[in-house]
Amino acid sequence: MDISYVLEFVVLADTKSFSAASYQLHMSQAALSKHIQSMERELGHPLFIRTTRNVEISEYGQIYLPYARQISENVRKAEAARIAFEKRSDARTIIGVVHNPDLFMATELISGFRREYPGIPIQIFEGSLKELRREFLMGRLHIISMAYSTWEKAQNHFIPAGKSRLTALIPKDHFLAEYESIPLRHLGNVPLLVPEQTSFPYQYLLHFFQQEEIHPDIVYQGNTTGVKHLLKEGMGIFIQDEAIAKTQMDENLVIRRLEPDISYTFGLEYQDHLTKNERIYVNYIKKMLAV
């Protein structure tokens, strides 16, 4: 059995909601459901009782849960033991950062740390929030960039670095450019250019689409490269994080906020058990962000 599925089971058991658990794990509800179903087939018993809105843990799930928690804790302890074995004064500190890290202060803070502590080697691991969350839960990363929307609660130690929101990048001659802020329901009637499926901007956008029962017309989903050309060709409007959208601005485009506001806090998340150098890095970040 995939150990990561067991960790996901524990999160779902705690939240009792596929929606809440999937956003906490930064993965799609469909993927989470598939993993839980795979566990249930392998175990031969249902772990949850599905309802229209939430899930309740089954009788067998209640029996299995304490063992799953032990597995989760043992994974963390095993990784901590490995770190302790390998720990030495010159141990490399690995920082997990999201794509486009320069837009979320990650590279700025890492560069400042290198200048202040040139003797501590740093390695940067870049990935999606889903990838970072998986490596964090498995204990392979102890420090990661993370973002939490207004409906989410940080599950570990979290140092907020700033806030951002989703915006729409629109050609000036598009009819939606006349709005100061665009009602989300209007996005169901126009072609959309959206970020990668595993990115947190898309996951947050998808959450609100599902809440409002909007079925978007997505004509492009991928990285930001080349989006400006698609915008100029009138293929749709681009929904993206405000900081990223601003990098694509020119005199023919405008940025508009969405209504309701889809905002989130980004920052640094870290484990309880840190190496000496990791602890130095975390304390440096706290000092720089005046936490």
Report pLDDT digits (tens) over 27-52: 888 999 999 999 999 999 999 998 76
178 vs 226, more confident:
178
Note the pLDDT of residue 48.
94
- CATH no., domain 164-263: 3.40.190.290
Tokens for 277, please give them: 């150098």
Q: What's the rounded Cα separation, in Å, for the pair 90 and 141?
A: 17
Average pLDDT over residues 140-146: 91
User: What is the mean pLDDT of the segment spanning 203-219?
Assistant: 91
Sorting pLDDT into bands at 50, 70 and 90, what band is 85? low
The reported pLDDT for the residue numbered 242 is: 92
Q: Where are the domains of the chain?
A: 3-75, 93-162+265-288, 164-263
Fold of 93-162+265-288: D-Maltodextrin-Binding Protein; domain 2 (3.40.190)
Q: What is the pLDDT of residue 273?
A: 86
Comparing 14-18, 89-93, 158-162, which segment has the lowest mean pLDDT?
Answer: 89-93
pLDDT for residue 290? 82
| Domains 93-162+265-288 and 164-263 alike in fold | yes
| CA atoms within 13 Å, Cβ hemisphere of 244 | 24
Out of 3.40.640.10, 3.40.50.10470, 2.60.40.1120, 1.10.10.10, which CATH number does the structure's domain 3-75 have?
A: 1.10.10.10
Residues 6+ apart with CB under 8 A from 204: 149, 166, 262, 264
Model confidence at 92: pLDDT above 80: no
pLDDT at residue 220 is higher than 90: yes
Q: What's the rounded mean pLDDT across residues 15-33?
A: 89
pLDDT of residue 89: 46
Q: Tell me what the mean pLDDT of segment 163-190 comes to.
A: 93
Q: Is residue 102 pLDDT above 70, yes or no?
A: no
pLDDT tens-digit readout, 46-56: 999 987 678 99
Name the average pLDDT for the chain. Answer: 88
3-state SS string for 116-141: HCCCCCEEEEEECHHHHHHHHHCCCC
Dist. CA 291–CA 268, nearest whole Å: 12
